[in-house]
Structures are given as structure tokens and as C-alpha cells.
Structure 1
Amino acid sequence: MADSTTLVAYFSASGVTKRVAASIARAIGADLFEIEPAEPYTAADLNWNDRNSRSSLEDRDASMRPAVARAVEDMDAYDTVLVGFPIWWGHEPAVIDTFFEQYDFSGKTVVPFATSGGSGISGAERSLSSKYPSIAWRRGALLSGSDAADWARGVVA
């Protein structure tokens, strides 16, 4: 990987975050990496109306860390990492925490971005900065496909 010093890493459950991440990577010439759970989520796993669905259980147990399928090659080569995810219950999905706990982000700038049908990103930003206070966070954004490229150009300018 490492054709760029910027990485756009993302987790997408429905394809929305994937489209936004791809738009961002194209706009800024960044490398793109999908954070894939080792055990993919099924529709039943994502049923937020079911208190016993996998995503509901992960939300209620802050210690859960779903395994990821593969690692970023040469994470050390990146200076800036934009990390995208859907907002679940007002914050990041547990698989994003797994991602952050796999790497040393010392000396890197990290910028979250999210997609959501109704929640903002502020809860996720608070959650991430409190769990990972040593990371140099920049303010993130809640994005749709139409605003992603312009936002990303402003982030890496």
C-alpha cells in the first residue's frame, strides 16, 4: 500500500461509509483501507431493534473488540489517517476500537469522519478522545457523499 502519506481507513456496514471513504481517497490521492471484521456482520447482527443482536451486545459491553480480518500494511508510512465509520448508538462501532488498539498512532494526525441516518459525530469524537487520549485528534465531520470530497481537501490542505 503506502503510495501516499495519507490513509483513509473505514468500516462500512451498509455501503454508505464505503462510498464516502472512496470519494475522500480519490479527492485527496490517499490510500484506502477497509476495516473488515473477521466475522462479517449479517443483517441479523445489525438489527438494532433486537437487544440480543451482535451489534447491540457490542454496544452494551464496552470491552468487546471484534477481530479484524487483516492489518494495514506499513502503518508507519502514514502521517495522516482519516478513519470513517457509521454512527451506532451515538458513537463508533466496537470494530473501530479494535482498529485503534492495533497500531501506534504516535506522530500521526488522526481525523474521524462518520455517516449516520440521524446522529451527529460529537458523541463518537468524545468517546474516541477519551479512550485514546494520546492520539493527536483533529475535528471530524459527519458526511454524506456530496460533501465528502470538499471536506477532505480542507482537512489535508
Structure 2
Amino acid sequence: MWWGIAAWPVDHFVEDNDFTGKTVIPFCTSASSGIGDSGELLADMAGTGDWQEGQRFRSSVSDEDVVAWVESLE
């Protein structure tokens, strides 16, 4: 995550893959930047898939916080 947008390696991954029939939930870690518009930009770039609202975790996120978030998705 760089200032609210995904880093270019993520862009290339999204452009090079087909997300048809997939649910995609972007997430990142960052000491300061929020997730911004990265999810919407990646969804537009992909053109396929069911892109959900993403989550930004602080860089010092605990394992428990990540597990709780993942479990909340089920």
C-alpha cells in the first residue's frame, strides 16, 4: 500500500489474472497510509470477480486481530 493505492506488483498480479467466480477482499498493512481507493481501483483493473470492501491493518497488528477479522468474514 502506497498512499492509498496498491503497489505496482499487485497491479500486475490483478491485471494478469481472471477473478471470475472469485470473491476478493483486499487487505494491507501500513504504518500510516489508509487503504484508500485501492480496492475500487483494483476491482476496475480486474474487470472480473466479486470485490468486497478491504481492510487496512496497522503495521503492528496482532495475530489475534487478524484472526478475528478473518473469522468475521465467514
TM over 0.5: yes
Q: Which residue of 2 aligns with 1:111?
A: 25
Considering fraction of residues, name the structure with more helix. 2
Please tell me whether residue 124 in structure 1 is matched to residue 38 in structure 2: yes
RMSD between superposed Cα atoms in Å = 1.5
Name the TM-score, length of structure 1 as normaliser: 0.41
- The gaps in structure 1 that reach 5 residues or longer are 1-86
- 8 Å CA contact 2:14–2:45 kept in 1: the answer is no
How far 1:101 sits from its partner (Å)? 2.0
CA deviation vs aligned residue, 1:44-72 (integer Å, no higher than 9, x gap): xxxxxxxxxxxxxxxxxxxxxxxxxxxxx
Q: Which residue of 1 aligns with 2:55?
A: 141
Larger radius of gyration: 1
Report % sequence identity: 36
- The gaps in structure 2 that reach 5 residues or longer are none
Amino acid at match of 2:16: Q
Cα 1:92/1:130, change in 2 over 3 Å: same
CA deviation vs aligned residue, 1:111-137 (integer Å, no higher than 9, x gap): 100111111113212321232232210
- 8 Å CA contact 2:3–2:36 kept in 1: the answer is no
